[in-house]
């Protein structure tokens, strides 16, 4: 007599996001000097700004004129100009996920205040985890609700993106 399989659960039926298409800006790979996106686009030598289903090369270190992203207190700090795209973007995403490189860092109060004035909540993570979080939330909530600002994992303070 064959076993009774009527009580078994099909895990594929439990995947609530299984039929939802993955955003083209989802990050497939975090490289030392850039990112590979689901769309086939590769951003190399730059950071990535992923917003409203679009991907932009992002060089926040150029906004300040020096290759520093960390202040004297060890906090991730960017000038307001680094978030210039959000000044002209409407509607803005509800959440900005910032990937700060190989290791997580706290966000400076000045940068947190600026992002808050733009009407966005902010989440800080190392870049690999930030990319994974963005992929999940952009799929779940949509690319208009979640944005990501990612620094390559090979970023080194004072040197920039190390090849």
Residue with tokens 């949509």: 142
Centre a 10 Å sphere on the Cβ of residue 75 and count the other Cβ atoms it contains.
Answer: 18
CA distances from 148 to 50, 55, 58, 83, 85 (A): 5, 10, 11, 11, 12
CA–CA gap between residue 76 and residue 163 (Å, rounded): 22
Fold of 27-161: Hypothetical Protein Mth938; Chain: A, (3.40.1230)
Retrieve residue 136's tokens: 């999940």
How does the average pLDDT of the chain come out, rounded?
Answer: 87
Q: Which residues, given as ranges, of the chain have pLDDT below 70?
A: 1-22, 64, 157-163
CA distances from 149 to 13, 48, 93 (A): 33, 6, 12
- Contact (Cβ atoms closer than 8 angstroms) between residue 129 and residue 102: no
Tens of pLDDT, residues 83-105: 999 999 999 999 999 999 999 99
């Amino acid at each position: 007599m064959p076993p009774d399989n009527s009580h078994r659960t099909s895990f594929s039926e439990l995947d609530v996001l299984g039929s939802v298409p993955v955003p083209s800006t989802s990050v497939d790979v975090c490289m030392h000097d850039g990112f590979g996106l689901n769309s086939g686009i590769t951003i190399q030598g730059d950071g990535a700004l992923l917003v409203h289903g679009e991907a932009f090369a992002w060089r926040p270190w150029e906004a300040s004129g020096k290759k520093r992203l960390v202040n004297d207190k060890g906090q991730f700090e960017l000038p307001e100009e680094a978030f210039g795209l959000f000044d002209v973007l409407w509607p803005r995403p509800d959440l900005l996920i910032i990937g700060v490189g190989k290791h997580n860092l706290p966000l400076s109060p000045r940068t947190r205040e600026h992002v808050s004035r733009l009407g966005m909540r902010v989440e800080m993570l190392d870049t690999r985890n930030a990319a994974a979080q963005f992929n999940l939330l952009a799929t779940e909530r949509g690319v208009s609700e979640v944005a990501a600002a990612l620094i390559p994992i090979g970023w080194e303070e004072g040197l920039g993106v190390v090849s």
